[in-house]
Amino acid sequence: MPQLPDPAPASKLPPASSGGGRGVVAVLAFAGITVAVMQTLLVPVIKDLPALLGTSVADATWVMTATLLAGAVATPVMGRLGDLYGKKRLLLLCLAVMVGGSVLCALTSDLVPMIAGRALQGFAMGAIPLGIGIMRDVLPAERLPSAMALMSSSIGVGGGLALPAAALIAQHADWHALFVAAAVLGTAAFALAWRVCPESPVRAEGRFDLPGALGLGAGLVCLLLPVTKGAEWGWTAPATLGLFGAGALVLTGWALHQLRSPSPLVDLRTSTRRTVLLTNLASVMLGVAFYAVSLVLPQLVQLPTATGYGLGESMVMAGLCMAPLGLTMMLVSPLYARLSTRHGPRTTLLLGMAVIVLGYGGGQALLSAAWQTAVIAAVLGAGIGLAYSSLPALIIGAVDQRETGAANGLNTLMRSVGTSVSSAVIGMVLARTAVPFGGVEVPSMTGFRLAFVIATGAVAVGLVLAFFLPAGPPLRPEPVLVTAEPRPASGEPDGPYVLTGRVRDAEGSPVSRANVTLLTPGGVQTARTTADEAGAFRLTAPGPGRHLLVASATGHAPHALTVRTDGIAAPGPVELVANAVRAGAALAP
């Protein structure tokens, strides 16, 4: 992004890097895809894990469960830490931990170290909300729609594209090569993010809520563990029911703590707002729909033709049939930006869900050839891509900018809850409807069709929820006027300077409670304040020189102006007219 002129108006933050905004988007999307790969990395060899690790089937499933649980806990926690201490810093931490986990897995064939390494890989899922937060804080408004869409979709893109690549590696090399490849990807993502991505100047106030993080982690483990292991333990087993009860009790106590905490991990009052609540509930349904296709199609493609319905293809072919899922999710991101600009993210969410219903409904008649499964994956990928792309715009438009990371972390968690529920429910259906073949039980066509019906029902519920989201008007650019006037604080030209100003909207009305931050040209924060109800603010600059004044408010993209404190009072206010974004809105390129 170009450097702000001085003293002319500007509408963008300082350059993120020599690569500009496009480089930031590409690197963050690559990081998101990299961490999402961890979720499906072992899918091609999952049936062989007991033999590879020398353990029982029940114990081997912990290799997958650990990744899921760690990712569920990490997403809201890392989002909040990023809001407080810097999103880039925490993004790099996520990637470094993922690389460490990958190296640990690559060096072991023992169960316990493998579970630990997979948990560290899952921890990296916190990079998704952090990346979305960085985009919101540092990109110009016109780049936000397609950028956030791509970052949000990276969960599905990474999962979809990982399947054929992982299958190819697993079929032609030692299975530890999967983790070597993951470590290489993570290292590349870390190096690129460190070099290209800027640190966001936006910071939340308060402290990190450690008791809240521990309570949320314990509650999620107690809740998700029986969801993922219930079919194996028995849904009425004492362990299953006990964990469900413990999870409900812990999360209730956690919620009461959050409501009383001055610096909550998750602002539950914000989370109960209509837009945030309905978007998160719809995200659960989308998670169910996304994971259903990943469970059904690879198994159907690889089952022997002697079953009468299996397609008898190889592991690699099964991965290739799933590849269109990730490819179409990536390709619809630019389309989402145009549709959202004209009609709003609620409309694109509804459209995406309608396409998913079409994909699962029509897919019932397209299960007799490998190319047909690829068509199903492509249609579902387009719908899931549109729907996933809409979620961050809806969330960001309804929360304060200082809560972006935590809010998107919670939304990502809701998708993870949906995938966990999908895995448990559809896994149970496939097990209950299995038929004997060659001395073993294999999924039946009835089970596959029921799985598609369950996914269709989940999306139908999501459609109803999304229908009640605020529609919002079509997006249009709106000017935001920010003014500032520097003067010496004590009459000394080399001493501190007072900056006074006002934040107003297009009609001249004050923008209350806007965040105003003063930075050096290099991006170091030197002062920060919150405007009053009339939009007025007062800051003290450390001395004469050139400064960057950044104003941001809920429902608006951050914008900046350059001010000088040169030893004399400014002849008048310096003005900036910049494009802003309505709540839940996004501008077209």
* C-alpha distance from residue 60 to each of 6, 352, 459 (Å): 61, 36, 31
Handedness of CA 19, 101, 153, 171 (dihedral sign): positive
**What pLDDT shows up at residue 113?**
92
Q: Assess contact for 393 and 585: CB atoms under 8 A.
A: yes
Paired with 510 in beta bridges are 504
Domains of the chain and any CATH numbers: 20-208+263-467 (1.20.1250.20), 478-580 (2.60.40.1930)
Residue 164 phi/psi, 5° resolution? Answer: -65, -35
Kindly give the parts of the chain with pLDDT less than 50.
1-20, 473-486, 488-490, 567-589
Q: Is 177 helix (H, G, I), strand (E, B) or coil?
A: helix
Q: How far apart are CA 162 and CA 513, in angstroms?
A: 44
Handedness of CA 215, 217, 220, 222 (dihedral sign): negative
**What pLDDT shows up at residue 140?**
64
Q: 297: closest CA among 381, 361, 377, 415?
A: 377
Q: Which helix (H) or strand (E) holds 54?
A: none
Six token digits for residue 449: 């069709």
**What pLDDT shows up at residue 367?**
85
pLDDT tens, residue by residue, 102-149: 999 999 888 889 989 998 998 888 888 888 778 877 776 556 666 776
**What pLDDT shows up at residue 508?**
63
Q: Helix 20-40 to helix 144-172 angle, to the nearest 10 degrees? A: 40
Residues 6+ apart with CB under 8 A from 338: 588
Q: How far apart are CA 62 and CA 67, in angstroms?
A: 8
Q: What is the pTM of this model?
A: 0.67
Paired with 578 in beta bridges are 480
Q: 484: closest CA among 556, 539, 529?
A: 539
**What pLDDT shows up at residue 574?**
36
**What pLDDT shows up at residue 137?**
73
Q: How far apart are CA 188 and CA 305, in angstroms?
A: 41
